[in-house]
Structure 1
Amino acid sequence: MRKMRLVSYFCRILIFCTLYPIFSVQALDKAQVGVGQSLNIKSWKTDSGSSVFFVNSQRLPMIDVMLDIDAGSRWDPSGLEGLASLVAGMLFKGHHSDGKIISEEEIGEFFVRNSIIRSVSTSRDKASISIRFLNEPEVIQKLGRFLQNVLSKPEFNESILARQKRRSLLALRESLTRPQQLALRNLWDKMYPDHPYGRSVTEQSLGNVSREEVQTFFRKFWTPERMTFSIVGDIEDRELESFLGNITNFQSKNSFSKFEEKLERQENFNYKKILPPVIFPLAETLMIDHPAEQSHIWIGAPMLARHQIEDIFPFFVANYILGGSGFGSRLTSEVREKRGLSYSVFSGFSLLKQKGPFFIGLQTGKQNTTVALKVVQETLTDFVNNGPDELELEKAKTGLIGGFALKLDSNKKVLMNLSQIAYYGLPLDYLDNWVDRIASVTKEDVKRVLRTYFVFENMQTVIVGN
């Protein structure tokens, strides 16, 4: 019977994947979301305090949900790095329902039986659960009740936790053999020496995670008021409100009643209510030996938070010109095309709740490390001091605007953008005005953000493989 359900599930997925490109192409007419079209985002709060952001889309008979929880790794207590990720990874490994335990296998069967696709991830800022399902009333009702139990009554089985910790340990050891991962790990540490953004999971921190710590973290951070729901799909408002009401109709502390008295008495000073501000350490260069054939060079510094939208749009343009556009960017021209020092060189930035980093990355032959680093530094210095010329500015704005429609050409992409608006508190018309905001960026705007945020005394450099 189980095999038959699996075959049925994968057949439905195959049909959906076959037809999806047709639906997507047909959806890109003027009546649908696109350049100059409004997303018409609706927002409200559930009775339990969760935030909801909804875009009604009838492109497909599907509903996409992104649940973002303010429970990312920045809340990991010192010495327990990796805890947030383990908590999120344990949620679909077993929970309580009607006096019995629903096992990991039964959870998997529920998703297969109802043709539901789900994934879980953890970043520095948040934990995220992504779910895609058919807009069938029966499926919606079942899923609402099911998720309420998952989010309110997880079991956190001791043996499964031990298995997850072993898997995380093996993944950590493997990652530490790769030069790029070594470089990024150390770059974050250098950029954020006194902030949780800079901490990374270690073998010791994984070993320190106990079932009680998992339960404590869950109780403190996986609460309805810390949850943000982003939804894109074909569903009526009233039905959606009922669905979300079912999911969030709980208080997480009720999940562990037999531990409650002990945990309420316990004062755990490891858990912070307010995170420290991002400081700007003085520039350093860290060199790490590695047997790789090439040197992996990374340069970076904290710069912008996600909510600083007045400066983000000029920054988009500046990054596009410097190294964010690939061929045609200044870094590619100077490092690859003129000197042949690297196959790939790029720039980018990560926008976070607090000041996220700007970075430059490249690989080069070990014998070229010093020369390549000098060329990158000179290119960056010239760009910061003098800004772009008019041709670069217009090409950058044209390129960014030309690619904007691709950000919204599927429900999944709309969901990812909606999730950014919802979780980071961006204006509801952020995407509606995106093209106009890029088009209005001037040369002086770019110069202003370059001179404001690029402080060379704070730029960190990590070289692995030298």
Structure 2
Amino acid sequence: MARQAPLCDRLSDQVAPGLRGEALVTFLVRTIAAAAVAALTVVLAPVAQATTIERVITPKGIEAWLVREPSVPLVAMEFAFRGGTAQDPADRSGLANMTASLLDEGAGDLDSRAFQQRLESKAIEFSVSAYRDALMGSLRTLTENRDEAFGLLKLALTAPRFDSEAVERIRADILAALRRDAMSPSELAGRKWWETAFPGHPYSRVNRGTLESVAAIQPADLKGYVGRVLARDNLKVGIVGNIDAATAARLVDDVFGSLPEKAQLTPVPQAAPADLGQRVQVDVDVPQSTLMLGGVGIARKDPDFVPAYVVNHILGGGSFSSRLYREVRENRGLAYGVSSSLVPLKSASLFFVSTATRADRVKDSMDVIEAEIRRMAESGPTAEELDQAKSYLKGSYALSFDTSIKIANQLVLIQLDDLGIDYIDRRNGLIEAVTLDDAKRVAKRLLSGKMLATVAGRPEAATAAAPAAAVPAPAVRAQ
């Protein structure tokens, strides 16, 4: 089955300059103390610095980025098709997610059981997940099983079965998850935020869909989505492992070469969040409330994105070291966790802050969060905060390259963000170049606007005795 996307959707999330996601960076290392990162940097930093990326153009014209690692007896491949859940028809929200969940449930002459047995017998890992702007897949295999793994992937992408048994089983799983979501304050706060901020826009829809829309999806819809979205012109590929360029080109052509040349994507209009400055309450009888604040962010290709990324780390992206964590949790004990994130989507650029707390502490939490946002907007970070943030962000980047699948993921996400094949070499220099004046100017630009707030939980008048748990942090992508 597909990996489930977190609250804000992996590719729409805490996107930092190069991983997102997930999109996958700051939150992958958020629980590691700065001292530990400094120690790890000595060991791991050469990994990123030594990563040599080859641009492979196959005979059929497909581009793939390759990192050779002959010492590792495996091959990892990540791939992505632009489109994602934004391509769901208005009355079939959840279609991309359901399609992704079914791609490993039988293909060609293999029904679901036979397909899964083939994967398991060779220890092949394969999954596909749907995010707002892309459908992302992952394949990992031992070198000795490479040809069979790529053959099964080809079947999954070009000849998915969508048998009724598998469709109904996956549908039941998704419907059960949606029913659970109906009592989850984090899911409800996120759902209400997107619905309110983007009325009538594809981004307003729930990635998993609704009970009604998922119930309406038919095999013909699933086949139609595959035919429209899985194509060569919107494909990005990253490969890492014990494989040479010629072999990689052959396998990529074998897997993807028979897909349609061009995708039939519905244009997704550019949009900005609506109802900024408003607060929306979603009543749900649970012991804690989730608070989600969102406003206008900064586009990934904007020159101010990297300074904004550094500023966000100082404000709320750096976990234990962030201002929000210190003021909300350590100084006042209002919540276990709080985080902020930059979310540059293809058709909108956003900034989020989220936390979870007791119903009677929502107002206090919001007051503290808004005060810290204002303080950062007015004064920016201190020189010491800036130096510490840059040191951390440069050092922790190496942690995105400590496994083959992470490297392959980075290769794809950098392509999706159009950052250039040399981005890994340039990334830390871009962060180091951020000056205090840059940080203060961009903090004012990013944080001076109004934000839409959604709160899911008991109304503030109803107190709850249970302590709050942290809101799951959005996954990240190109750091």
Q: Same fold (TM over 0.5)?
A: yes
Match of 1:416 among 409, 418, 424: 409
CA distance in 1, matches of 2:123, 2:329: 47
Is 1:126 aligned to 2:127, yes or no? no
CA distance in 1, matches of 2:378, 2:86: 34
1:418-457 aligned within 5 A: 418-457=411-450
Contact between 1:305 and 1:354, CA under 8 Å: does it hold in 2? no
Query: Identity of aligned pairs, percent?
Result: 28
1:11-90 aligned within 5 A: 34=46, 37-90=49-102
1:82-231 aligned within 5 A: 82-96=94-108, 101-136=109-144, 139-200=145-206, 201-231=209-239
Contact between 1:176 and 1:182, CA under 8 Å: does it hold in 2? yes
Instruction: Please name the residue that 2:476 is paired with.
Output: none
CA displacement at 1:461 relative to structure 2? 0.2
Is 1:342 aligned to 2:354, yes or no? no
Match of 1:290 among 276, 279, 284: 284
Q: Which amino acid aligns with 1:165?
A: R
Q: Which amino acid aligns with 1:225?
A: D
- Cα offsets for 1:124-174 (capped at 9, x unmatched): 1111221111122xx333333333232212222133212221211111111
Is 1:370 aligned to 2:363, yes or no? yes
Change (3 A) 1:433 1:38: farther
Is 1:236 aligned to 2:230, yes or no? no
Report the aligned-residue RMSD: 2.3
CA distance in 2, matches of 1:64, 1:298: 36
Larger Rg: 1
CA distance in 2, matches of 1:333, 1:92: 44
Contact between 1:38 and 1:432, CA under 8 Å: does it hold in 2? no
CA displacement at 1:323 relative to structure 2? 1.1
Q: Which amino acid aligns with 2:358?
A: G
Contact between 1:55 and 1:233, CA under 8 Å: does it hold in 2? yes
CA displacement at 1:349 relative to structure 2? 2.5
CA distance in 2, matches of 1:376, 1:86: 37
CA distance in 2, matches of 1:273, 1:288: 32
- Structure of greater relative contact order (alpha carbons < 8 Å, 6+ residues apart): 2
CA distance in 1, matches of 2:259, 2:390: 48
Q: If the length of structure 2 is used for normalisation, what is the TM-score?
A: 0.81
Match of 2:257 among 249, 253, 266: 249
Q: How many residues align?
A: 414
Is 1:301 aligned to 2:307, yes or no? no
Which region of structure 1 is more displaced relative to structure 2, 347-356 or 224-233? 347-356
Q: Which amino acid aligns with 2:148?
A: K
| SS at structure 2 position matched to 1:279 | coil
Higher helix share: 1
CA distance in 2, matches of 1:272, 1:238: 31
CA distance in 2, matches of 1:114, 1:249: 24
CA distance in 2, matches of 1:42, 1:375: 48
Is 1:328 aligned to 2:340, yes or no? no
Contact between 1:72 and 1:123, CA under 8 Å: does it hold in 2? yes
Structure 2: which 5+ residue stretches go unaligned?
Answer: 1-39, 460-479
CA distance in 1, matches of 2:247, 2:170: 36
Q: Which amino acid aligns with 2:49?
A: Q
Q: If the length of structure 1 is used for normalisation, what is the TM-score?
A: 0.83
CA distance in 2, matches of 1:29, 1:454: 31
Structure 1: which 5+ residue stretches go unaligned?
Answer: 1-27, 254-270
Instruction: Please name the residue that 1:464 is paired with.
Output: 456
Instruction: Please name the residue that 1:275 is paired with.
Output: 268
CA distance in 2, matches of 1:244, 1:381: 50
Is 1:314 aligned to 2:322, yes or no? no
